[in-house]
Structure 1
Amino acid sequence: MVFPEVITGHVGGAAVAIDPQANRHAVYFPGTGERIAFLQEDNIAAVTKAVNCARDSFDSGNWSRAPTSSRQAVFRGGAKLIREHAEELGLMECLCAGLPASHLASRQVPRAADNLEFFADYIGVMAGETFEQLAGYQTSVTRQPAGVAALFAPWNAPLALASMQIASCLAFGNTCVLKPSEFTPVSVLKMVDLLEQAGLPPGTINVVNGCGTVTGAALASSPDINRIAFTGGSNTARRVMAAAAKQLTPVHFELGGKSANIIFDDADFDQAVDGSLVNIFSNSGQICIAGSRILVQRGIAARFVETFVKRAQALRVGNPLDPATEVGPMAFKTHWQRVLDHIDKAKLEGATLLCGGEPLTTLGDGYFVAPTVFQVNSNQLSLCQEEVFGPVVSIQIFDEDEEAFSLANDSRFGLVGYCWTTSLARSQAFRQKVDAGTLWVNTPLARDLRAPFGGFKESGIGRDGPRQAAEFFTEEKATITAIDKIPIRKMGDTANTDTGK
């Protein structure tokens, strides 16, 4: 696949013109470290132009006042085109993000289409409310689109997560300015093109590119943005929130995690091992829902550790273009180095290295890290408190159930949690006592789009989900109508001295 030499944004239904004076960022293939293109950075003026275009599009009513059936048709048509271009989109995602092709084929690209189809269905069954309890009056409650949204998509799963933001926002008639990661812009731009081919009016989605300190800061601080949805790290979220606070712009954050994966001694052992490997090594460990803290009960700990480490050492690490690859590279070089720094810190703090713990230089100049397993005796190690976002996991042994729940909650994050047990009582205790937005029992990574998704504590603000998206991306309006002529007090009528009328 050949990319343009310079990748630019997308405003008003067309690619932004190349500006020789604009800053440029190199985009690399993580599997080899080779540069595949340059990305043109959008400055404040360029971001303002994109926001103004989104505002003009919203005010035109071409999308904001379009019939529900028209929005449904665009979403379903876009989903169809995404499926038809799945191979191309998957290759783009693989070349920019380094995601293994096998993972893309089975999860990421289909999910982008699923997100659009789901919201197409949902807006078809939404209803307002009518109240008639107040005699002589009818009160109707309706929703209208909030306006222009700023969407910040992450680099670890560009298609899947950007499509959720787009679907959640556009379904209710909003327009948007989308900023993908400067490391992974290509597949998102292609998805926007496919949506416009499906009939999305130009200017409904506008894409700006660049780093967070320039492009992101300009977008987050724009006074013409009505909503901000951000997926990424908590430190960046704080800066986005500070910028949004100046305009009192509502924010929705889906942030990081340091999630516990509890394995009780009555668990289906093989299922627990299989699920625990999937929970941490999927997407090369670069997922916010990673089960990166394994807590295993002492009675099965020795057997579990031996089996898990053996399987981790057997994982096929390599070129993400190879369908046999199970673990690919880190998405970009600075993140690769950050993961290695976490590993070095864990060693210095006394964690016991069981396997991995090093870069895989035998695979060339790509950003590869060997699947890494540590055993720890304390949950206070940095490895257990900081999000590594790579193929690195800690294993800690516990004795009593309450100890496991306490360890699970000993984190500033609270995104998800995992539990493996054949006991209904234990699974219910897990549900009641672990503070996380999504809990999985005896399964890895399943998701029903009707259910809310989001985190406790520093894992986010708000929830993804259809009802939650409707509440965030719309303004609710109550209209009270008098059914018949009603008596109204005649203020200022000097001919009438009865002030009660």
Structure 2
Amino acid sequence: MDTIALDSRLRHAGGFLGRRSGMLIDGKLVQAVSGKTFPVYNPATGTVIANVPEGDKADVDLAVAAARRAFDDGVWAKVGPSARGKMLWKLADLIERDLEELAELESIDNGKPYAVAKVADLPLAVDMFRYMAGWATKITGSTLPLSLPGEYLSYTVREPVGVVGQIIPWNFPLLMACWKLAPALAAGCTVVLKAAEQTPMSALRLGELFQEAGFPPGVVNILTGFGETAGAAIAAHPDVDKVAFTGSTEVGKLIVQAAAGNLKKVSLELGGKSPAIILPDADLDLAISGAANAIFFNHGQCCCAGSRLYAHKSVYDKVVSGVADIASKIKVGPGLDPSTEMGPLVSDEQFSRVTSYIEDGRRSGAHVAVGGNRVGNLGYFVAPTVLEKTTPDMKVIREEIFGPVVCATPFDDNDLDAIAKRANDTIYGLAASVWTANGGTAHKLASRIRSGTVWINCHNVFDASLPFGGYKQSGWGREMGAEVFHNYTEVKAVTAAL
């Protein structure tokens, strides 16, 4: 048994970390059928903070059976839309009540600064449940005028898709769970959710809050385990009607293959290599700070991070110098340290991935303007890094690094089609930002960029009402907003001869 090491700076989450937490299956907190557990690490120190159940196929079978009963036997269907909305709102109240505890769990589990989790991740999670609570009573169909001879009444209804398997990533553990759970439950689906093995703690605590909020048994099931076992079992399960996945494009393709058995519906929010484009007329102070935030927010572990920085040659040197200066001043440290601005990467594996990309960039001819090194000898810290002299054929430009590494490239075109061609030169299409003082230019360029989100004079702006998802290999479908209900409902057409 690993020794549990709790940070002395914990003020709210120590009690939860100190007890044996369980997975939520059929309304009960349980251990894995196998009895196995696995350790969870604090990425700031590499020490074990908890041991959690190692769920696998047997546990998935139990969870799916519970979700199937709750859906098919009408337990959840008999809870009307208004009552569903009230339950979602109550859960939001409970998350808000325990905001400090959950923020600490995110910090010690994922590595992100506690202050950031407290003012960003948690409020957005609360807002997601409240926003979707309002939608529970507003998922409607329409009446349709038919053109064929005769008299008919035709209408459509939107019905819940059924049992939904959800697999979430480690970069925003609680927020991603809320992005998935809230709309699925508002639509009337039942859910089996698997937390990322690197960051399961806030999901397990969320399971306790679902119990407290009074959700019927089987409606929400939350598992911990590994992607190769529990995740694969969810994706392939014949009684799962739909799978929603957020993670890498490589794993997303495996999800699609696994889902083919019963042709379950699939939505995917995958990788990105998002461009931040700074035009010569941009407010440079705004653009420089915005470009830095675009890549260094959440340690660069963000699917829409502005990891490709394109600046017009007339402002390129000033932009790179400014971003590098910001990077050099970012305070890197443990997430629970109040002075920390950037925490560690989530795991040793991610640390090795990011540092190997930096070294590959060096070997390929990129110049490290700032950073490029490990910070300290403990934990998984990488200095915020700016790479210059990057070219379109380099791996650091072509592939998603998922760390605090930005690749800067000048351009000398004033033609918007040429600029957009650079931005679109990627297999991904998740997000982009455009920095300019000319509103017309901004919107013209936004129309040419093939991505699910284009920010103008901002980056990393999220709201429960904004649909989020990608073009090309950045995924299928959209999270949030009204668009998300296409993921969790089926449309039925009803026609009656009069």
**Band of TM-score, shorter chain:** over 0.9
CA displacement 1:436-492 (0-9 Å, x = unmatched): 110000012223433321111110011123433222211211222233xxxxxxxxx
Counterpart position of 2:30: 16
**In structure 2, C-alpha distance between the alignment counterparts of 1:304 and 1:451, rounded to whole Å:** 29
In the TM superposition, 1:460-475 aligns within 5 A as: 460-475=475-490
* Structure 1 equivalent of residue 238 of structure 2: 223
| Residue 467 of structure 2 is aligned to residue 449 of structure 1 | no
Kept in 1: contact 2:271–2:430 (CA 8 A) = yes
The aligned counterpart of 1:115 is 128
| Superposed counterparts of 1:40-439, under 5 Å | 40-133=53-146, 135-361=150-376, 364-402=377-415, 403-439=418-454
CA contact (8 A) 2:76 2:216 kept: yes
Structure 1 stretches of 4+ moved >4 Å = 4-7, 132-135
Amino acid at match of 1:12: D
The Cα shift of 1:6 comes to 5.2
Shift of 1:43: 2.1
Once the two structures are TM-superposed, the CA of residue 7 in structure 1 deviates from its matched residue by 4.3
Q: Which amino acid aligns with 1:246?
A: G
Q: In 1, are the aligned partners of 2:169 and 2:195 still within 8 Å (CA)?
A: yes
Q: Secondary structure at the match of 2:314?
A: helix
Q: What residue in structure 2 maps to residue 492 of structure 1?
A: none
**Structure 2 residue matching 1:55: 3-state secondary structure:** helix
Aligned counterparts of 2:221 and 2:396: Cα–Cα separation in 1: 39
Superposed displacement of residue 150, structure 1: 0.2
Is the 2:467–2:484 Cα contact (8 Å) retained in structure 1?
no
**Could you tell me whether the CA contact under 8 Å between 2:301 and 2:402 is conserved in 1?**
yes
RMSD over equivalenced CA pairs, Å: 1.5
Q: Deviations over 1:320-363 (max 9, x none)?
A: 012221110001111111111111111111101111111112xx
Give how far 1:160 is off.
1.0
Q: Based on CA coordinates, which of the two structures has the bigger radius of gyration? A: 1
In 2: Cα distance, 1:281 partner to 1:246 partner: 40
Contact 1:102/1:324 (<8 A) preserved: no
- Conserved in 1, the CA contact under 8 Å of 2:56 and 2:226? no
Task: Give the counterpart letter for 2:126 in structure 1.
Answer: A
Amino acid at match of 2:132: F
Could you tell me how far apart the structure 2 residues matched to 1:6 and 1:214 are? 22
SS at match of 1:299: coil
TM-score (norm 1): 0.93
Distance 1:65 1:401, change over 3 A: farther
3-state SS of paired residue (1:178): strand
Count of residue pairs the alignment pairs up: 480
Structure 2 portions without partners, runs of 5+ = 1-13
SS in 1 for 2:315: helix
Instruction: From the superposition, tell whether residues 258 and 18 of structure 1 become closer, same or farther in structure 2 (CA, over 3 Å).
Output: closer
State whether residues 21 and 52 of structure 2, in contact with CA within 8 Å, keep that contact through their aligned partners in structure 1. yes
Alpha-carbon distance in 2 for matches of 1:193, 1:430: 47
Contact 2:21 2:204 in 1 (8 A): no
Distance 1:319 1:58, change over 3 A: same
- Secondary structure of 1:171's aligned partner: helix
Deviation at 1:144, TM superposition (A): 1.4
The alpha carbon displacement at 1:238 in A equals 1.1
Alpha-carbon shift at residue 235 of structure 1 (Å): 0.8
The one-letter amino acid of 2:371's match is G
- The farther-off stretch of 462-471 and 107-116 is 462-471
Shift of the 346–125 alpha-carbon distance from structure 1 to 2, 3 Å rule, reads: same
Q: 1:200, 1:423 → 2: CA distance? A: 50
Aligned: 1:32 with 2:45: yes
Q: Compute the displacement of 1:433 (Å).
A: 1.3
Q: TM-score, normalized by length of structure 2?
A: 0.93
In structure 1, give the amino acid aligned to 2:139.
M
Q: Which amino acid aligns with 2:191?
A: C
Would the aligned equivalents of 2:179 and 2:480 in 1 still touch at CA under 8 Å?
no
Q: Tell me which residue corresponds to 2:8.
A: none
The offset of 1:194, in angstroms, is: 1.5
Amino acid corresponding to residue 405 of structure 1 in structure 2: A
**Does the 8 A contact of 2:139 with 2:187 survive in 1?**
no
Which letter does structure 2 place at the counterpart of 1:401? N
Stretches of structure 1 that go unaligned for 5 or more consecutive residues are 484-501
